[in-house]
Structure 1
């Protein structure tokens, strides 16, 4: 059992300052530039070295939900996933920020049943589902959303599975709990950095800070997992394959993660995080990508990750899914084409 606890959950003043962000995404309305989103991005190779970067590669960030596959590593490497008979769908859900659609909540509910647990065992909190059918169903039934509707319920089902395997206490989200300490070890091992601290995520679990390079290095480690034979690498390979196999479980219909992974035909796993973080795992190229839009705008991170993936040759610029997020028309309420969202001049 790991007992080390990083000191405090608040970084020192200035710790998270992101200097020198560069233009990544532009919003044009008619003939004029209306808005510009600045950010940082890093591509690392399988040796952990920077292949290319934009802005400040040392910018310290919270990866938010983009790091869920790291948080899922102990679930597999501990033997808990095998012990409880988890399959690729469970693994994809453990990495998911899902819409709360029936395809998500039904599977999470069955997972809890398999553990002999229920919604009250979660510590992620209830959330209104993003899926319209699920939301309307709750309204028609005069029912409130439960914790299974939380976009992180798959990750928390993974935490509960690991926790049961460890026979640890119920408060699995506490920073000194064995579940979170195992996540910290996995995080620092794969990023190659000592985390300077943590914040509490929207789902109440600790979210460990790292540099953008550290996050890209971790994703490159995932991308090259097939080249190694240790238990952690085998877990990483399984998680990446599960995300690629089940893109609809990782996010949901109408979401960039799902649509862009489908467009890349099983070549790449991608994952968004709150406040405009995005990662990509490219197994064929043994590369990892991490980006962060400084102002936290998701439309900008979706455009920027699409542009990087096009530049790397794994995403077709003219695919309909790509055109939804990059070089995409801005339509008003009468469906009139008013402008475009596109990569900033000189970004790619």
Structure 2
């Protein structure tokens, strides 16, 4: 099997500086690919295996469309979202379930609290609808209903839905899947290389003959609030820069431009703190994003380094 990411395969991607001294360093791997999936920049061992976590939700959503899930607009974005659990997010998930003729009891994602602060305060208990993957699960169920497949076993790797997703992952990354595990939401997660992940995102966000990929990319750009949440990093990046941005647990991030230039990265320690900053800097250096516009997004999405409530440093990419 291909080697998994190790400390030896990682390089420094970002540092946090406080009062003129570097306090923390984020190590990881990153790759930038062009519209033809050719590598433009490689940092670290980009052919090591990682779990892509939620960054491969776009491929899962495209598979649901191919299988007849009748989704469009906000509903399609929720199928690929790691949403904040706001009332608006939950309402869209309910619409998808209603179309499938199911209710929330069919969801097999775990109960969770909303990550949106106001929604969490208003919640009385954790709930599967509030779990950030509930839109993906609702889309899975709709695809099963449209194909007369069982809905009680939709998360099993041998289920026809999951076998179709496995085939799509191999198609979009360009590599066979050597290992599969279980994601935080309970669905199968397939190990891929960082290079393969960037290739997949380029094929989703750039020029393509795949009508379902085009529909998904257009929906995300039209409804960026749905993929994450108002004021949150992925949503702000999409709104301000027109990129498609998708985070994944354990420090994975992907971004793709309309011309097909894409970046994928994974931090060794699993932290997402520097992920948006590093990904945007790499796209700036690749000529896919305006430097000033990217700096504005970094300024509002990056963690502030404060001392006594005033700025005393910064988190910055060193790529």
Q: 2:31, 2:263 within 8 Å by CA — same for their partners in 1?
A: yes
Task: Decide which moves more: 305-314 or 31-40.
Answer: 305-314
Matches within 5 A, 1:140-289: 143-169=124-150, 170-226=152-208, 228=209, 233-264=210-241, 266=242, 268-284=243-259, 286-289=260-263
- 2:119 is aligned to 134
Task: State which drifts further: 162-171 or 182-191.
Answer: 162-171
Partner of 1:122: 107
Q: Whole-Å Cα distance in 1 between the matches of residues 221 and 215 of structure 2?
A: 10
* 2:316 aligned with 1:339: no
- Kept in 1, the 8 Å contact 2:32–2:42? The answer is yes
SS for the counterpart of 2:23 is strand
| CA contact 2:206–2:256 (8 Å) conserved in 1 | no
Q: TM-score, normalised by structure 2?
A: 0.93
Alpha-carbon deviations, 1:249-301, whole Å to 9, x = none? 0000231101111110x3x11101001111112122x2221111111111021
Q: CA deviation at 1:45?
A: 2.4
Report if the CA contact (8 A) 1:263-1:315 is conserved: no
- Given that 2:257 and 2:288 are in contact with CA atoms closer than 8 Å, whether structure 1 keeps it comes out as no
RMSD: 1.8
Q: Distance in 2 between matches of 1:17 and 1:195?
A: 19
d(CA) in 2 for partners of 1:337, 1:260: 23
- Report deviation, 1:317: 3.5
Q: Distance in 1 between matches of 2:262 and 2:8?
A: 22
CA shift for structure 1 position 47: 2.8
Secondary structure of the residue that 1:283 maps to in structure 2? coil
Runs (5+) with no aligned partner, structure 1: 1-10
Question: How far 1:307 sits from its partner (Å)?
Answer: 1.5
- Note the C-alpha offset of 1:316: 4.1
